Amino acid sequence: MNVGAEIQQAFVVCISAVFTQNILLAYFLGLCPFIGVSREIKTAFGLGLAVIFVLTATVMLNWLAYRYVLEPLGLEFFRFILFIIIIAAFVQFTEMAIERFSPFLYQKLGVFLPLITVNCAILGASLFMVIRNYSFIVTIGWGLGSGTGWFLAIMAMAGIRQRLAHERIPRGLQGPGITLIIAGLMALAFIGFTGVLQGR
């Protein structure tokens, strides 16, 4: 495949990862931070940006590691452990780098960066990339799209939760309960995109 066609495919995969195959609302990955950190718009914004950045970077790193280390050695089954190590190491290094070079950004993202290590959307995106046999360029589109989709979903949820009037919600449903119901209704509406740009 030539580069032009690949870039085009990467674009299609990117858009479909944002809407059609939204990693949060279609695959329900990364739900814990989605519920835990969506109470305020400001924090949701910070976490969302961090996810876009880390997700895009780690799928690329994991692609390289898988193609040039695991495949030649025939150790594909090892990918779970390796991917987790790479993600954790990458998050640690970026945290250190950001702290060193941009204290402002570090303050904004500081709390959320370590949290991302255990965000299953990050590992999930890397595993999907292996299953679907994406090329490197397409992987970039996939990572960027998945991250953006997650960002969009958590921003919408944060906006909704800020408007929510808590005092009238049944007591047992306040907090995570109603958040899960909202997430379900959001997923219901996102089903409408099924079939738009089915890029795999």
Residues near other proteins, by CB under 8 A: 41, 155-156, 158-160, 162-165, 167-170, 173, 178, 181-182, 185-186, 188-197
| Residue whose CB is less far from other proteins, 92 or 184 | 184
Q: How far is the CB of 168 from other proteins (least distance, A)?
A: 3
Min dist. Cβ of residue 87 to other proteins (A): 28
Closer residue to other proteins (CB): 7 or 160 = 160
- How many residues are there in the chain? 200
- Distance between CA atoms of residues 44 and 156, nearest Å: 9
Are the C-beta atoms of 20 and 198 separated by less than 8 Å? yes
CB of 128 to other proteins, least distance (A): 22
CA 74 to chain centroid: 28
**Least distance (Å) between residue 34 CB and other proteins:** 14
CB of 194 to other proteins, least distance (A): 6
Residue 82 vs 169, nearer CB to other proteins:
169
> What is the SS3 string spanning 30-48?
CHHHHHHCCCCHHHHHHHH
The nearer residue to other proteins, 50 or 153, going by C-beta atoms, is 153
162 close to 43: Cβ distance less than 8 angstroms: no
Backbone phi and psi for residue 11, each to the nearest 5 degrees, phi listed first: -65, -45
Residue by residue, DSSP assigns 2-30 as: -HHHHHHHHHHHHHHHHTTT-TTTTT--S
Q: Nearer to other proteins by C-beta: 25 or 87?
A: 25
Please say which residue, 106 or 193, places its beta carbon nearer to other proteins: 193
Closest approach of Cβ 35 to other proteins, in Å? 16
How many CB atoms within 10 Å of residue 183? 20
All residues at 6 or more sequence positions from 133 whose CB lies less than 8 Å from its CB, including other chains: none
